[in-house]
Structure 1
Amino acid sequence: MSGSAMTREITFGAGPDLKRIYATALVTGRPTSGPLPDVRAVRSGIRVDLGNLVDYARMCGFTVGAALPLTYPHMLAFPLQMALMSERDFPLGLTGAVHLENVITATRPIAVQETLDLTVWAENLRPHRRGQQADLVSEASVDGQIVWRGVSTYLSKGREHPDAAPSEPPSLEPLQDVATGPMWRLGEDIGRRYARVSGDWNPIHLHALTARPLGFPTAIAHGMYSYARVVAALGPTLPDSGVTSRVWFRKPLRLPSTVRLRSAIEPHHILSLLASARGDIEHAVVEHTW
């Protein structure tokens, strides 16, 4: 452990064990209070596991190529995010935390064989109408140059703030004339399958029996799995670099479910909606700009 007198730095030689983090959080749940700690989680010298990359690509629908999928670095950074949120002085409760939004900015493609350094920290603690929210910022660097940045917004439910300004997705009006798109059947086991690839063993995603005590009648799909499926489906319509990808997670995607993706494609802009097959439940709104 190292760092300046002000910023504490936690260094990881390997990805933190998410099973242990979740198990500990379930046992030691605590109230939410206080400011965000000035601490950074750092993991250096990361070489991508090619077998895991292939499994992830197949799971989410990406084509395995020379560059990493846009969402893949998040999977590497996510255990560091959870390690920070499990720290004793972190003000948001990890158990039951809700992933609200995610913004990814890719400066350039990341070659599969490149060595990555990751730094993760929390910022912008602020009220939410259903509790408190904060941003977990993840930066991936190659040879000291930042090549990828992700901002994940998490909600910890608690004292309500009805006057808190909401973060709303863009208008879906461009999708009014888009009637069709790919349809996917997501089985009851999709959360367990994605957990084996991602390491994210949050009990809300695994089985109805483990999701019910946390307030969900069934297991729900990982938000980053749904998001990755959208990004993968857009495929070659997205540029190789200079793209900003943003997702607003709306209603939980209960398993099993059938969903449809619709996208409105314009120059330098794609707006997508992942919704139930009947269109009555919005699961995710995704916007790409470049």
Structure 2
Amino acid sequence: MDYVTQIIDPPPSRTRLLLDGVRALRKPKLDGAPLLPKERLVRAAAELSGAGIEAYGRACGFRREQGVPLSYPHVLAFPLHLMLLTRPSFPYPASGMVHLANRIRQHQRLHPGQALRLEVYAERWVAHPKGQALSIATRAYGADALVWESDSLYLRRDVKDPVGQPWDDVLPLQEEGLLRTQRWVLPADLGRRFAKVSGDFNPIHTSLIGAKLFGFRRAIAHGMWTLGRALAAQQPPGGLDQAEAHCDFKLPIFLPGQVALWNHPVTGPRREFEVRNFAGDKPHMRGLFIWNESVR
């Protein structure tokens, strides 16, 4: 597919994203199959700022000696995701889009202060049993080389006759032998705190009233916070050279609340894990974390 590149400089303000979101609450009824947006949104020099990394680390539980968190570049790219989802060319209202899954791959070590060229575009439609899903690609380049990439899957519920390849949510995990290794107590304001560092002010995460408007009894935790917290609990010290994280989001986590990390009690560079309720019978996220250990 041929994309039209648009340089976004400076990045959009929170106010602009909010206004764009309001304007995108209503979309004309589709006549036929949905079309992929043709825009490729680009930030030419997005900095991995030390202050931003530190704030994100505090929110998710990363320690400074772990280096740049594997999931942090998503924070820099997320405003471009919102811009794409609220463009007139996107066929569905952005509100109510559900984050289903995320795949992250890092090819080179990232450094505080490093500038990345970020590119975000709609990659493909996916036919999901509950509606129409869309994969949004994020590619991060440093010195003309791809250093980090992710694919985020978003779902629009209740769309009849979805197009694209069938959705496959099966991660190659061994659920047998997973043990509860950590308990996380989540405060009521977790969504608002994470919104300040991630830029995701979706009211289902930040407001009781907003959550109820979308059918939730209380505010729910960000899926990307859950992933970040799980990676922080397992990422080794010394930073990462190459790494991958795959996750499927399951049941929402209501705030306040408590959940637990379940994984295999191993020390090698491959971790299969789930975030469940404390009793262990309700999955909130299923994931796989792989890394090549850095040379110390």
Instruction: Give the TM-score normalised by structure 1.
Output: 0.90
Secondary structure at the counterpart of residue 51 of structure 2: helix
Alpha carbons 2:65, 2:237 under 8 Å: kept:
no
Q: Provide the C-alpha distance between the structure 2 equivalents of 1:32 and 1:272, rounded to a whole number of angstroms.
A: 41
**How far apart are the structure 1 equivalents of 2:240 and 2:117?**
21
Match of 1:288 in 2: 289
Residue 15 (1) aligns with residue 32 (2): no
Is 1:24 aligned with 2:20? yes
Deviation at 1:239, TM superposition (A): 7.5
CA distance in 2, matches of 1:254, 1:74: 23
Deviates more, 1:102-111 or 1:207-216: 207-216
- Once the two structures are TM-superposed, the CA of residue 147 in structure 1 deviates from its matched residue by 0.3
Q: Does 1:201 align with 2:197?
A: no
Per-residue deviation, 1:65: 4.2
CA distance in 1 between partners of 2:23 and 2:213 (Å): 13
Give 5+ residue unaligned stretches, structure 1: 1-5
Pairs within 5 Å for 1:253-272: 253-264=253-264, 265=266, 267-272=268-273
Relative to structure 1, the CA distance from residue 278 to residue 149 in structure 2 (aligned partners, 3 Å threshold; closer, same or farther) is same
Shift of 1:80: 0.5
Q: Which residue of 1 aligns with 2:74?
A: 74
Amino acid at match of 2:211: A
Cα distance in 2 for residues equivalent to 1:83 and 1:94: 10
Instruction: Classify 1:19/1:276 alpha carbon distance in 2 versus 1 (closer, same or farther; 3 Å).
Output: farther
Matched position secondary structure for 1:16: coil
Tell me, what secondary structure is at the counterpart of 2:181?
A: coil
Equivalent residues in 2 for 1:1-290, closer than 5 Å: 6-29=2-25, 30-31=27-28, 33=30, 34-65=34-65, 67-161=67-161, 165-170=166-171, 174-236=174-236, 240-264=240-264, 265=266, 267-290=268-291
CA distance in 2 between counterparts of 1:144 and 1:110 reads 14
Partners of 2:252 and 2:284 within 8 A in 1: yes
Does the 8 A contact of 1:175 with 1:262 survive in 2? no
Q: Where does the alignment leave 5 or more consecutive residues of structure 2 unmatched?
A: 292-296
The residue matched to 2:217 in structure 1 has which SS? coil
Write the letter of the residue equivalent to 1:286: G
Identity of aligned pairs, percent? 30
Amino acid aligned to 2:280 = G
CA distance in 1, matches of 2:188, 2:71: 23
Q: Secondary structure at the match of 1:182?
A: strand
| Conservation of the 8 A alpha-carbon contact between 1:66 and 1:111 | no
Question: Are the counterparts in 2 of residues 98 and 154 from structure 1 also a CA contact under 8 Å?
Answer: yes
Q: Report what 1:3 is aligned to.
A: none
Shift of 1:159: 2.2
The 3 A distance-change label for structure 1 pair 242 and 44 is same
Is this contact kept in 2: 1:18–1:200, CA < 8 A?
no
The Cα shift of 1:90 comes to 0.9
Taking the aligned partners of 2:259 and 2:115, their CA distance within structure 1 comes to: 36
Q: Aligned to 2:105, what secondary structure does the other structure show?
A: strand
Deviations 1:88-138 (A, max 9, x none): 011232101000000000001111121111011111113221211111100
**How many Å separate the matches in 1 of 2:28 and 2:100?**
20
Q: Secondary structure at the match of 1:180?
A: strand
TM-superposed CA distance for 1:63, in Å, is 1.3
Q: Write out per-residue CA displacement over residues 155-199 of structure 1, whole angstroms, 9 at most, x where no aligned residue.
A: 011324599844223365x34333331100011100000011111
RMSD over equivalenced CA pairs, Å? 2.4
Q: Using a 3 Å threshold, how does the CA distance of structure 1 residues 108 and 176 change in structure 2: closer, same or farther?
A: same
Is the contact made by 1:120 and 1:137 (CA closer than 8 Å) also made in structure 2?
Answer: yes
Determine if contact 2:49/2:113 at 8 Å carries over to the other structure: no
TM-score normalised by structure 2 residue count: 0.88
